[in-house]
Structure 1
Amino acid sequence: MEHGSQQGSDLATPAEFAAWLKRQLEQRGYDLRPRGGGQTRFIADSGIGAGTVSRMLRGQGNTETRVLQALAEALELPLAEVLVAAGVLSHAELTNVRNPSRTDPLTPEQAADELGITDPQSRALFVSMTETLRKQRAENGEGNNIAEN
C-alpha cells in the first residue's frame, strides 16, 4: 500500500485506508458492487455501525480505536496492521514501538513524544490505542513494555 506524501508523512490517507478496506472485504467474499449486499453483510458480521462502515469505505473522517479494534477482529488481522492501514501509525512508528531503543518503560504520552505525535486528536487516538493494546496484552497474560500511568 502506498502512503500519503503530505509534508513527508508516510501515514496512510483516508482514501488509501478506504481502498485497503475494500480490498480486504472483497478478498473475504464481500461483494461491494451496488446491490451486491456485501456492505450490509459485513455490517451484520462485524457489528460495526452502518454509518461508520460507509464512512470508512468512502474514506471520510478519522476512525476511533475501538472501531479499528472491532475491524481487526472482524477481518481476523492484527490490530497493528489495521492501525497502519488506517494511518494511525506509520510503518516506521510501528517499528519504533515494537523495537524501542530504550530499556526503561515508557508511558503512552512519552511514546507519543518520541514518535513526534503532536496533533491533539492523533495523540489522543495513539494513547487510547496504546491503552487498548495494554489491556489486550494483560488479558492474554503477556508482558508489557509500556509503563502503567
Structure 2
Amino acid sequence: MEHKNAQGNDHATPADFAAWLRQQLERRGYDLRPRGGGQTRFAQDSGIGAGTVSRMLRGQGAMETRVLQMLAEALELPLAEVLVAAGVLSRNELQAVQHKGPRPDPLTPEQAADELGITDPQSRTLFVSMTETLRQQRAERGEGRTAEN
C-alpha cells in the first residue's frame, strides 16, 4: 500500500515494506516464525547482515541503496520493484522515469537548476552563470546546441 508523502507523491511506508519483505521471504520458504531460523538463513543466503534483515522486517531503519541492491539480487527481483516496495520511488515516479521520452527542446539553465533541486539563490545564480558561460563558449567554437538531452 502507498501513502501520500509531504510532496504529494505515493510512497510505501516502512511498515508496508516490512510486510512486503515478509511475504517475499515466506513465499520463498523462509520460516519467519520465532525460532524458525528463516531470518538467519536469509541473512546468510543474501549476504545482508542479520541485524539489517531484522530491522527491515520490523520496518525500522533507513534503507541503503547497496542493501536494496543485495535484496533485489537475493530475491531475484528487478531493483526497481524493490525500490518501489521500500518507498524510495513511487510507482508513478518509476513509470515517469521509465517512459520519459526525449525533450522537445533543450532545458534552460533555470529549468535544469529546478530539476536538479538547486534552490539556494546564490547556488542557482552560480549554476545559471556557469551554464551560460559554457553554452557561449561552445557556440563560439561552433559546437551547436549545448543542452541537448
| Both proteins in one fold, TM over 0.5 | yes
Q: Give the structure 1 partner of residue 98 of structure 2.
A: 98
Q: Which amino acid aligns with 1:46?
A: S
Instruction: Report the alpha carbon displacement of residue 34 of structure 1 after superposing the two structures with TM.
Output: 0.2
Task: Say if 2:13 is the partner of 1:27.
Answer: no
| Paired residues for 1:16-95 under 5 Å | 16-95=16-95
Structure 1 unaligned residues grouped into runs of 5+:
119-146
Tell me the distance in 1 between the aligned counterparts of 2:3 and 2:115. 22
Gaps of 5+ in 2: 120-148
**CA-to-aligned-CA distance 1:29-77 (integer Å, 9 cap, x gap):** 0000001110010000000011111110000122110100000000000
Alignment correspondent of 1:4: 3
What is the deviation of 1:9? 3.1
Aligned partner of residue 84 in structure 2, secondary structure: helix
Question: Could you say what secondary structure the match of 2:102 adopts?
Answer: coil
- Report the RMSD for the aligned CA atoms in angstroms: 2.6
Alpha-carbon distance change, 6 to 96 in structure 1, aligned in 2, over 3 angstroms: closer
Q: Percent identity?
A: 71
- Deviating beyond 4 angstroms after TM superposition, the runs of 4 or more aligned structure 1 residues are 103-106
The one-letter amino acid paired with 1:60 is Q
Alpha-carbon separation, structure 2, partners of 1:5 and 1:94 = 15
Could you say which residue in structure 2 is the equivalent of 1:143? none
CA distance in 2 between partners of 1:113 and 1:51 (Å) = 36
TM-superposed CA distance for 1:103, in Å, is 4.2
TM-score (norm 2): 0.67
Which AA in structure 2 matches 1:113?
Answer: E
2 CA distance for matches of 1:6 and 1:65?
20
- Residue equivalent to 2:115: 113
| Inter-partner Cα distance in structure 1 for 2:115 and 2:60 | 27
- Provide the aligned length of Structure 1 versus Structure 2: 112
